[in-house]
Structure 1
Amino acid sequence: MAGSRVIERLLPLARARASAPSGLLVTERQLYYELCRLLAPAHRLRGVPGCTVRVPLRYSTFREALGDLPGLLTIPPPERAEPGRHTPEPDLFDYGLPRLLICHSHEIAHMLRANGLPMESACPVLSADELPVHPGVAGMLARVEGTAYVLHGASTAGFEFAARVRELAALPDEVAVVPLGLRPRQAQALHLFHLPGAAAEPPPGPDDRERRWLARGRTVELEAVRPAALLRTVHRLVREVRTPRTPLLELRRTRDTGFLTWPAA
């Protein structure tokens, strides 16, 4: 484990790297994982078979060295006010809404909102703590047979959340629910850091390799993905901007890796 003096010296560099390339607003936990990448650059293991790597630093040690570093996002309580309270439009809910993003992590939902994803992608962002979806918003999605995208970590809890989103969000049948990941195999391909945990029975859904990984109790949080890569990937996928493929290759890709393919950087 790295000493506190080493951590204190690396924190400014980690802060700059986490915010790159355009001054992104990041959370404390995203900064923690950026510091982990400086201490153990596992993301540079290109050409090495996919695997996740145990975090090299206790979060409590990081927190002690962090102090009151300025510039990190302050996470507000879940937003539960009625949508449209700032507009006098009487017909607000009469329009269609093609897409909605639901994040398992409230911190990640706030980070995406703070960095402009709802405006850039024309996609409102909610967290699990902000469910169910307002009936008016659910009706807007149903009106155009829209899609609710689900973003979760590579964990048993993440898969269980994705499986229950329709129920938790109170979404009509007309609304498609599309999990984006993060799946264990995607985390392994990126050599992301995992948190250890107690062995647990994995949920249905993942393939055999992923179930074995989940059974060890491991978790890869969304915060472990580089902030810029996370923002760019989510923007691309909720807008369904994907590289054209033949139908056969697309079917195989969907079956083998899920809808979400994460970038290598």
Structure 2
Amino acid sequence: MADRVKAQVLGRALRVAALRAGAPSDIRFTERQLYYEVCRVLLPVPRGLRRPAFTVAAPVSYDDFRTALREHGPIPGLLTPRPARPRPAGRHTPEPDLFDYGLPRLLICESDDIAQMLRANGVPMESACPVLSAAELPLDPRVAGMLELVEGSAVYLLHDASAHGLTFPDRVRALTPIPDGVRVVPLGLRPRQAGSLHSTHLPVSTSRSARSEDEVDRMTDPRPPSDDPTSPRPDPADAQPAPATAPIDLESTVDPWESAWLRRNRYVEVDAVRPASLLRTVHRLVREVRPRGASTQWGRVRTTGFLTWPTA
């Protein structure tokens, strides 16, 4: 009886979540984005509890969600993930002078699923910004050359709110050469940004990097990693670090709230952000569009991550 009631509740939540995930204009979304939407349906955050910043535990396991998804059947807008692989640049056009043009911006996502979702929803065309994932690196040398042709060009990064995610800027530089003079701008997700959104957190043991608890503790130590004799070894999946790339200094990267949050063995995926909000905010920040009425202070803060904006 209890299992039947649980299945009924999950089935209803899934139907509501599918409508919300695709709103307001038939947005395409990933399976994990749908999962987090189900979590918000089952455990909404009351308006009176919007402050201070905090994240919430998942009210349903991913396995139970997938069981309900299989029983539900096809869902409009749900993307079918494709294998991550580097794709030859320029294969979509025969133009011989394609790589003679400058490229002002490029977005690299830690998650390949998120990169596919952004492409499926037209971000490269709408924002004039190609979207790649870490799995699709290294960059084609001709694309890197296009970035060099534009003064002030930037590579924007999108990563999870985790100790491992905070190292993504350094890992990108290790995975692919970034031309001198090209800005590398992390957009988030940061732990405090996830807390401001009251996102659903999961135990770090289930994260994409599958980091252990003691490794997270070492990474959140206030000492710079270069001074820490117990600093974790580089991820074997990562390329050898570039000589000019300094190790991430979490002392200057995370604040006390974020450090305490990371020590609780938690992480939040970019997938936990509402699909419509993710699309809107990524578009605004890669185009460097300043919200109406933004003060100088907010303009300075924008460099710390995309979900710091009060209108996100």
One fold, TM greater than 0.5?
yes
Q: Please tell me whether the aligned partners of residues 32 and 271 of structure 2 are also in contact (alpha carbons under 8 angstroms).
A: yes
Q: Does 1:52 align with 2:55?
A: yes
Aligned in 2, Cα 1:43/1:164: closer, same or farther, shift over 3 Å?
A: farther
**Coordinate RMSD, CA, aligned:** 2.1
2:75 corresponding residue in structure 1: 70
User: Bigger radius of gyration, 1 or 2?
Assistant: 2
1-structure distance, mates of 2:53, 2:102? 41
Aligned length: 263
Shift of 1:227: 0.4
Q: Please tell me whether the aligned partners of residues 18 and 75 of structure 2 are also in contact (alpha carbons under 8 angstroms).
A: no
2:219 corresponding residue in structure 1: 202
1:3 corresponding residue in structure 2: 6
1:250 corresponding residue in structure 2: 299
- Residue in structure 1 matching 2:193, options 186, 202, 211: 186
2-structure distance, mates of 1:264, 1:36? 22
1-structure distance, mates of 2:52, 2:307? 20
2:90 corresponding residue in structure 1: 84
Deviations 1:54-86 (A, max 9, x none): 111100010111113333101111242211112
Give the TM-score, by structure 2 length: 0.78
Q: Does 1:24 align with 2:27?
A: yes
Shift of 1:249: 5.5
1:144 corresponding residue in structure 2: 150
Shift of 1:241: 0.5
Structure 2's unaligned 5+ residue stretches are 205-211, 221-249
Amino acid at match of 1:179: P
Amino acid at match of 1:224: A
Q: Does 1:173 align with 2:176?
A: no
2-structure distance, mates of 1:178, 1:36? 30
Q: Does 1:93 align with 2:99?
A: yes
Q: Does 1:238 align with 2:238?
A: no
Amino acid at match of 2:199: L
Shift of 1:125: 0.1
Aligned in 2, Cα 1:211/1:163: closer, same or farther, shift over 3 Å?
A: farther
1-structure distance, mates of 2:100, 2:45? 49
2:226 corresponding residue in structure 1: none
- SS of corresponding position for 1:195: strand
Q: Please tell me whether the aligned partners of residues 148 and 181 of structure 2 are also in contact (alpha carbons under 8 angstroms).
A: yes
1:218 corresponding residue in structure 2: 266
2:161 corresponding residue in structure 1: 154
1-structure distance, mates of 2:170, 2:114? 19
2-structure distance, mates of 1:74, 1:88? 29
1-structure distance, mates of 2:295, 2:41? 39
User: Which deviates the most, 242-251 or 186-195?
Assistant: 242-251
Structure 1's unaligned 5+ residue stretches are none
Q: Does 1:35 align with 2:50?
A: no
1-structure distance, mates of 2:52, 2:297? 26
1:120 corresponding residue in structure 2: 126
Identity in percent: 57
